[in-house]
Amino acid sequence: MSVPAVLLQDLRKTFAASGGTVTAVDGVDVEIGAGEVVALLGPNGAGKTTTLDVVLGLAAPTSGHAEVLGLPPRQAVLDGRVAAVLQTGGLLRDLTVSETVELVASTYARPAPVAEVMARAGVADLAGRLVSRCSGGEQQRLRFALALLPDPELLVLDEPTAGMDVTGRREFWATMHADSGRGRTVVFATHYLEEADDFADRIVLVAAGRVVADGPTAEIRAMATGRVVHADLPPGLDAVAAADVVRRLERLPGVGSARLQAGRLEVRSADSDLVARVLLTELGGRNLEVATGSLEDAFVQLTASTPATSATAAPEAAR
């Protein structure tokens, strides 16, 4: 079996703060295979940056285990096998774009060719521009160029488009798209479901330091953006028959999760009409309610759900 690009086992990270201890990461289990493109999606304070800091060897876990390409994270970074695009820092304002790339290239034993890297990151046209004159989006593409220099096996991006306008965000991801398909593993943190949806094969949804859902992008999208259908089961249904109803709902196209919550069915789906039709015509559902599920809503619901019974919820969510 090939070595995972990232392996986090029961990862915990706490910080001492004035009011006591802050738990930033609270028992995260994630395994990311070579070549996967994974989004860490979660609201403010979910623990995304702290998790990525551990992956980059910038922070040591309080407990648990972290491995990158089969190595301790710091070692993998020192070996030039991991590179990062962070939100801020790392650029000298008085250098031009090409001087910046050349300077950083000179610190590597075997950097990728500067011209090629600049073209791939979409900064070749900006070669002579001072860093201080580059927009936020252009500076992020420059950071991306720097991250490509060691030709890393794992690329880590922490909210790479934070603070950019929609056009800047689109341009940045278009550049990333153009460079994808090279077998590189990419892990990125984002608040934006659209970014995760657009670029990742898999979404790891985090909230309050825990993984609340982990699965293929399409499934998580359905959980997070679809509508929520609530219904009562027909009276007198026993537990086995009720579980069968839940399973049938789970198998419908577009359904992200189906479960019984205090005796009432709760189904998240991208196609609520289909769920409603099947509930009414085939499964004896009553008292239907259909509500729009916002992403915020989904975070709250998923974080609060114990135990999670959805097909895509990660085992951690059930603990």
Minimal distance in Å, beta carbon 38 to ligand ATP?
15
Selected binder of ligand ATP within 28, 48, 142, 193 (CB under 6 A): 48
Say how far apart CA 140 and CA 3 lie, in whole Å.
30
- Stretch of 37-45, 69-77, 110-118, 141-149 contacting ligand ATP, by CB under 6 A: 37-45
Q: Does 24 bind ligand ATP (CB under 6 A)?
A: yes
Nearest to ligand ATP of 35, 43 (CB atom):
43
Q: Does 42 bind ligand ATP (CB under 6 A)?
A: yes
Taking the CA atoms of 66, 70, 71 and 76 in sequence, report the sign of the dihedral they define.
negative
Selected binder of ligand ATP within 2, 44, 281, 306 (CB under 6 A): 44
Distance of CA 61 to the CA centre of its chain: 20
Say how far apart CA 46 and CA 188 lie, in whole Å.
14
Half-sphere exposure of 219 (CA within 13 A, CB side): 20
Q: Does 160 bind ligand ATP (CB under 6 A)?
A: no
Q: Does 100 bind ligand ATP (CB under 6 A)?
A: no
Say how far apart CA 42 and CA 24 lie, in whole Å.
13
Say how far apart CA 308 and CA 319 lie, in whole Å.
9
Q: Does 50 bind ligand ATP (CB under 6 A)?
A: yes
- Stretch of 44-52, 94-102, 236-244, 275-283 contacting ligand ATP, by CB under 6 A: 44-52
Q: Does 166 bind ligand ATP (CB under 6 A)?
A: no
Q: Does 204 bind ligand ATP (CB under 6 A)?
A: no
Asked if 184 and 155 touch (Cβ cutoff 8 Å), the reply is yes
Say how far apart CA 17 and CA 11 lie, in whole Å.
19
Minimal distance in Å, beta carbon 225 to ligand ATP?
19
Q: Does 73 bind ligand ATP (CB under 6 A)?
A: no
- Stretch of 47-55, 106-114, 173-181, 226-234 contacting ligand ATP, by CB under 6 A: 47-55
Asked if 266 and 250 touch (Cβ cutoff 8 Å), the reply is no
Asked if 223 and 294 touch (Cβ cutoff 8 Å), the reply is no
Q: Does 17 bind ligand ATP (CB under 6 A)?
A: yes
Q: Does 46 bind ligand ATP (CB under 6 A)?
A: yes
Structure tokens at 271: 């196609």
* Identity at 141, one-letter amino acid code: R
Nearest to ligand ATP of 159, 266 (CB atom):
159
Of the candidates 70, 41, 35, the one whose C-alpha atom is nearest the C-alpha of residue 203 is 41
Nearest to ligand ATP of 9, 62 (CB atom):
62
Nearest to ligand ATP of 24, 85 (CB atom):
24
Helix (H) or strand (E) holding 219: helix 217-225
Q: Does 71 bind ligand ATP (CB under 6 A)?
A: no
Minimal distance in Å, beta carbon 265 to ligand ATP?
32
DSSP tag of 233:
P
The contact set with ligand ATP (CB under 6 A) reads: 15, 17, 22, 24, 42, 44-50, 191
